[in-house]
Structures are given as structure tokens and as C-alpha cells.
Chains A and B, each alone.
Chain A
Amino acid sequence: MRWLFLAPLLLFAIVAGYFAVGLTRDPGTLPSALLDKPAPDFALPPLLPNKPGLASADLKGAPVLVNVWASWCVPCRAEHPVLTRLAREVPVFGFNYKDKPEDARRFLVELGDPYRRIGTDPSGRVGIDWGVYGVPETYVVDAEGRIRHRHVGPLTDRVVAETIRPLMKSLAR
């Protein structure tokens, strides 16, 4: 019976162990498995009738940003103005993740559409290949279609100025 009183302590020790290891990880970084590797093979159907969808082949040719978003995601709204400004400088492709197409279209009608292409992944299946952890996420993909950087969470002017823009400039050369 006495050992039962140890159970809370043991449970806490396990959780605390996870916390300790978790602290050494940054949930905002890409698992090294995908970094500098070609983006996974995929083809997503278009969201809008007058805008093409998104497939692996579209990522080759010039460096681009792939922005994973959903209409139900609050931080996506927060990053939207930043993304809109950024889309004037570099091509931004949209990856609409686990969303209802009609909700996603409303989101774009309401806030504006910064994307050159939008692929829609209602089931989240392609998102698993990409290792999407939570929306929003933004991937920097180079001209050969390799993932060079991943940002988890909303883009801010600071992230753009300090990370995204310099990286895109160096890739454009």
C-alpha cells in the first residue's frame, strides 16, 4: 500500500523528464530530417478556380516561400498583414491545411489573398509528409526545391527582417 503514495512522485518525475528534454528542443525548428532535403513529393488541388494548385514541380526554378495556413487559425490572421507585405517582394505559395475550402475562401475574401498558388490539403495528409506541427508555418524553399528553413508560428516583421529576407536574398543570388 505504501508504494501507492510514491505514484504521484513517479508520475511527476516522468513528466518533468519530458519537460527537461523538451526545453532543449525548439518547437519552432524543423526536424533535421527534412532540412536541406528536397521537399516531399506531393500535388495539392487548387483552392480557387482562377488560381493554380501546388505540387512539388512548382517549387523548382526560383526560391519561394511556402506558407501553411488555415482559416481557423488565429495567429494566421495576425501574420496576414506581414505576409501580404512580404508577398510584394518574393513569391509566396499557400498551403491550406486541414481547412474547409469555403472557410478558406472566405478568409481570403475578407483579408486579401497574398498567394501566387494555393494548394488545399483538407485531410492534412500532405501536411504529415511535410512535418507540419501547427499552423501557421512558413518554409523557405530554394530554386532546386530543397527546404532550407522552417519557421513555426506567425511571421513578424522582425522574423522577416532578421531571417526570411536575408535568406531569400542569399538564395536569389
Chain B
Amino acid sequence: MIAELGQFALALALIVAVAQSIVPLVGAARGDAALTAFARPAAYVQLAAVAAAFIALTHAYVTSDFSVVSVARNTHTSMPFLYRLTGVWGNHEGSMLLWILILAIMSAAVASFGANLPDGLRARVLAVQGMIGVAFLTFILFTSNPFTRQFPAPLDGRELNPLLQDPGLAFHPPWLYLGYVGFSVAFSFAVAALIEGKVDPAWARWVRPWTLFAWLSLTIGIALGSWWAYYELGWGGWWFWDPVENASFMPWLIGAALLHSAVVVEKRDALKSWTILLALIAFSFSLIGTFLVRSGVLTSVHAFAVDPARGVFILMILFAAIGGSLALYAWRAPALKAGGLFQPLSREGALVLNNLLLATGAATVLLGTLYPLFLDVLDAGKVSVGPPYFNSTFVPLMVPLVAAMAVGPLLSWKRADIAGAISRLAVAGIATVAVIGIVLYASGGTGFLAAVGLGLAAWLFIGTLIELAERLRLFRAPLAESFERWRHLPRSALGMSVAHGGLAIAIAGMTASSLFQAEQILAMRAGEVVTMRGYDLRFEGIVQANGPNYQAERARFIVTSGGKPVTVLTPERRFYPVQRQQTTEAAIHTTGLADLYVVVGDSDGKGAWTVRLYHNPLVPWIWAGCLIMALGGGLSLTDRRLRVGAPKQRLQAAE
């Protein structure tokens, strides 16, 4: 009964979405206030209906209603409550419903926070949001209905994939989808601007908070996914250049480019049509990601249930959304008036460089991801493209990006004094050379890549600190003045510094953990001791430790360093009988500077167990850096200028 209510609510949401995508557009075109005003209540009703459907599905999962096909496929009565709950989005149908729920939340948020938008613009934005809703509600209702029933209902379900039975599933997909779907708002704003034929600094100011929000959510989502892969897959690795990872990384890169180009539109009224294009592409990449994951055109670790009918349907959505918006772009964008001029060596010039490198990076990732498909279609053979491609194409592109990132914020608008900026970075330069020298010396001259990576991280981090100090006139003015400047520092400026610093920390983590990882694989018997980078691990043996729906072999390692006790590590190997699948639960001891990572494998049947040990220097910095980046985005989001309606001609203290 409740499942049927959910289905009904979805159908209702579809009808409302159809109306929401037509009525406000007509109203805005005719200047009819009554029709225009329809957009906001429609967005609220749509959210209410989709939320009702989501609650109905959650109810079916939590109460283990196995007459619902999706529930029977993805839960089991022995599963803990948390995973029955998160199992709602641990499958194709439920995750699509979460996607639509977040879309409805974003639309309702535009309706509610967009009170200061011009009526016409708000109506058009919500109408475009409505169209996206129509597409995906039709998709879910006709090809991926989460409420489909089966009779007779099975006695028990087939259980969620054990790899997904992890607290990570509770947070990773929602954040990721907030990012993916969040870009729909920037997309809708861009389409609305193309319809109106007007892009101005006010438009950029309205779009920026939505882009920021989507970007920071995507940052958190990707970081959580990478962290989850790190501790759950038992590899000690954190990024695999898998098509699905790439699908989330491309909108992130384009979103980062969009954040920066929108600044140029806002401050200088330039780069307008480029910014519009980025807003369209960021969401297009989100859609392409959805297509790649769910259509089966590429093989991937993440492979959702693959169904050609779904692929055809999503492809039609791609045609309509991406093709339609780019056609609109080709038609309307040439009419956008170009704004302020600038010299190549200026803040704008630096942001253009940032945009070119980020967009090229995204294109590189796209090519690597789709190359197997291109060759397959041309019957030119079947290949897979792996990390060597990305390491030799994408990573070098990021070197000039990071190098320029420390300089850019020190440049002034229109025309900058590059020599002055470089001279202010002298301290950062000295530190970079020192780091490179130390790394090369410590590695005996072989650590060239590590020296470049860590040197860049030091350059960016110290460069960012210098820029912040410049803003505060720290050490050059009395402390009281610096403090006063700190108090008046715009949140968006502080957010930028924090985000850039976070990236520096993440780069240091990525470099050190990739290039300085120590690995040992050995067979150990109870009582034996293994030494790794100053830690002694004594293997105490294996005990059976059974969970609610799995049988585990739990190993016990007593870790000491120089005779002093450090910790006890208990990695597990779990066997899930319903799915007949084995998982490894790594045990990790982190000092914040490095992880000691232990996984236990098979026994040889004679009392020895395979043990894998990793020492990953700086690996926690990857996720800490990503969270700091997201925090920077959040700080910027609280900037009061973004909440003020009309752009005010007000001098910013520190600009």
C-alpha cells in the first residue's frame, strides 16, 4: 500500500514537473505575472511529492517489504538497520530516486532563496529545472521503477553487495549527487540567461553560490569515495582512474573552472559566453557520467545493473539536454556583448590560464575515458586505458596550473605588475627550492617526481599564505591594523586562501603516498614479528568474530615502536554467506603524517596467514586537503555579497 502511494507520488511529481517546465516560460515570455508566479509553488509541490516517494521507498526497505522487487534484490533480514536504510540508494532504482530528490531540493532552494532574483529569470530557471525533472521522472517511472511489486514475495532478500555494507555508503552518494545535481542550477541559470540574451555581473553573482555549493559537495563526495575505496578495497590505493571515478572528476574540473570564470564576469563583465558554456558543460558532464555508469557502454568496477533500454533512454536525455542547450548556445551566445578588456598579464589573464588548463585537463580525462568506446565503435580493436595514460597526460597539465595558482591571486585586475608579484613570492620560491633539494637528497637523486610534487605543494601553500599576509598587511603595518583588516576580510577572499591551501595539502598527500609507499607481503605465523619503517608488528593470531550477517576471521597485531606500545590492529576477512562474497576490512593506524595499513589474507592451512602491510606517508593529507578545500568553498558561500540581491557599487576593503 505504501509503495503504491510512493508510485502515485512520483506520477504526481511528473505531472507537476511538466506544468513547471511550461507555464512559467510562457508567463515570462508574455510578461504575465500570474503564470510566472506559478514556478515557485510548483517547485515546492514537486519537492513534497518526490520526498513522499522517497519516504515510501525508505519505508519499504526499513520494514523489509520483499514484495517490492528492489527491496528483495538489495536487502536481507540479517542486515543491520543502517545498511537496510542506506541500501535505499545502494542500487540503480533507489539511487535514481535520490538523484531526483536532490534535484527537487535544489529547485525548491532556488524558489526559496531566490527571492531577490528578477521574476522572469527565476521563472525561467525553475522551468529549466522542471524540464530536467520531467526527463528523469519519466526515466525512473518507465525504465527503473523502484516500486515494482512481485508476487509471491520471496521469504528473504538477496542482500546488498557486501562491499557497499559500510558506513561510507551513507554519505558518499548523497554528497556526490548534491554535486552532480547541484550543477543543474548553474545549467538552468545559463539556459535562462541565453533565453533572455543577457549576462551581467548580477547574473554571475547569483550563479556563483550555486556553483560553489555544487563544487564543494562534489569535492566532499569524491573525497569520501576515494577514502572508502582506500580502506574497503584493501589495496592501499586511493584512486584508480576507473571510468566512473573519471565521470565524477570531469564535472569537478569544469566546476572549478566555472567558479573562477564567474569571478571574471562578476568583477570585470568579461568572459561571458565562455562562462555560460562552462555552466552548460559542467552539468553535461554530470549527465554523461550518469549515462556511462548506467548504460553499460563501458565496463567499470562500479557497473550498475546494465540494461540497454535504460541506456537508450538516458542517451535521449543527453540529446535533449546537452544538444538542446548547446544549440541554444550556438544561436544566442554570439549576441552576448563582450565586456571589459584586459592585458594577458593580469588577474583576468591568470584566470583564463586556469580555465584553459582545467578545461584541457577535463578533455584529457574525457578522451582517456571514452577512447576504448571510440575504438570499439570503429572496429579498431578493444583496449583499456589505464593509469599510465592519465599519469603522463593529466598530471603534467596540472603542474603549470599549480605553479600559476600561487601567482594569480597576487596579480591585479586589468594589468598587473608580474615582476612585483614574483618578487613577493621570493620566500615561497626559496622554500620550494629547499623542499626539492631535501627530497632529492633524501631519495638519493631518484625522487625527481616526488621533488616536483612536494615542491609544488610547498610553493602553492606558502604562496597562498603570502597572499593572505599581503591582504592583511601583516608585519608591514601595526598588528592592530592587520587585525582590523582580518575582521573586514571578505569571506570569499578567505575562502579562496583556504581552498588553495587545502589543494596544496592534498597534492603533498597524493605525491608522498604514491611515491613513498612501502609495501610488504608475507606469510606470518602467530608469534612472529615483522618490522616496517620503525614499527614492530607482532602477529598474535586469528580469532573467529562473527557479525550479524557475516563470518569474520579477525587477526590481532600488537604494534610497538622502539619497545613502546603504539596500538593494536585488528584487520578482518569477512565472508558474507548470502552473497557468498569475501571482503577485507583493513586495519589502519594513522598518525596524521602517515598510515600503517594492515590487511589479512588467506591461510595456507598450516597455521600461516598472508599478511599485507603498507606504510603510506601523508596519505591522510589527501582527504584532509579535500575537506579543507570544501571548507574554503563553504566559507566563500557565507560571503555576504552573495546574499545581497542587486550588485552594489561598494568598494571592497581588501581588493
Q: Which residues of A contact B (CB under 8 A)?
A: 1-2, 5-6, 8-9, 12-13, 15-16, 18-23, 25-28, 31, 74-75, 78, 80-82, 106, 109-112, 128, 131-134, 152-153, 157
Contact = CB atoms under 8 A, between A and B. Distances in A.
A23 B311 contact: yes
A49 to B, nearest CB: 17
A18 B377 contact: yes
B373 A18 contact: yes
Contacts of B581: 78, 81
Nearest to A133: B382
Contacts of B334: 1-2, 5
Nearest to A17: B377
20 contacts: A1-B334, A8-B281, A13-B323, A16-B315, A18-B370, A18-B374, A19-B295, A19-B373, A22-B297, A22-B377, A23-B297, A25-B377, A31-B382, A78-B581, A109-B521, A109-B604, A109-B610, A133-B383, A134-B299, A134-B384
A75 B301 contact: yes
A59 B329 CA distance: 58
B374 A8 contact: no
B602 A111 contact: yes
User: What is the predominant secondary structure among interface residues of chain A facing chain B?
Assistant: helix
A84 to B, nearest CB: 10
A13 B284 CA distance: 13
Most B CB contacts (10 A, CB to CB) among A13, A26, A110, A153 go to A110
A140 B581 CA distance: 24
B404 interface: no
A23 B308 contact: yes
A23 B315 contact: yes
A20 B319 CA distance: 10
A78 B582 CA distance: 8
Contacts of B326: 8-9, 12
Contact of B299 (A81, A128, A153): A153
Contact of A22 (B322, B333, B376): B376
A157 B297 contact: no
Most A CB contacts (10 A, CB to CB) among B311, B319, B326, B582 go to B326
A12 B384 contact: no
A27 B298 contact: yes
Contact of B602 (A9, A110, A134): A110
Contact of A133 (B297, B329, B372, B523): B372
Sort A-B residue pairs by CB-CB distance and give the 5 closest, nearest first: A133-B382, A110-B601, A9-B326, A110-B610, A134-B384
B650 interface: no
Interface in B267-288: 273, 277, 280-281, 284
Contacts, number: 110
A16 B318 contact: yes
Contacts of B374: 18
Contacts of B280: 8
Interface string B103-125: 00000000000000000000000
Contacts of A18: 370, 373-374, 377
Nearest to A8: B326
Interface in B171-197: none
Given A28-B299, A112-B602, A19 B382 contact: no
B87 to A, nearest CB: 19
B523 A15 contact: no
A48 B217 CA distance: 48
A9 B327 contact: yes
B447 interface: no
Contacts of B604: 109
B558 interface: no
Interface string B508-526: 0000000000000101000
A22 B301 contact: no
A78 B601 CA distance: 14
B2 interface: no
Given A8-B326, A25-B377, 17 more contacts: A5-B273, A5-B329, A5-B334, A8-B280, A9-B327, A9-B329, A12-B322, A16-B322, A18-B374, A22-B297, A23-B297, A23-B308, A23-B311, A78-B581, A109-B610, A110-B521, A133-B382
A23 B295 contact: yes
A122 B208 CA distance: 50
A15 to B, nearest CB: 7
A93 to B, nearest CB: 21
A133 B299 contact: yes
B381 interface: yes
Nearest to A31: B382
A1 B376 CA distance: 35
A128 B326 CA distance: 39
A163 B327 CA distance: 46
Contacts of A78: 581
A8 B277 contact: yes
Contacts of B601: 109-111
B413 interface: no
B580 A16 contact: no
Contacts of A20: 315
Interface string B589-620: 00000000000011010000010100000000
Contact of A27 (B318, B319, B370, B376): B376
A1 B377 CA distance: 33
Contacts of B370: 15, 18
Nearest to A19: B315
Nearest to B161: A78
Given A8-B281, A81-B582, A110-B610, A22 B373 contact: yes
Contacts of B330: 5-6, 8-9
Nearest to B297: A22
A2 to B, nearest CB: 5
Nearest to B383: A133
B610 A27 contact: no
A19 B296 contact: no
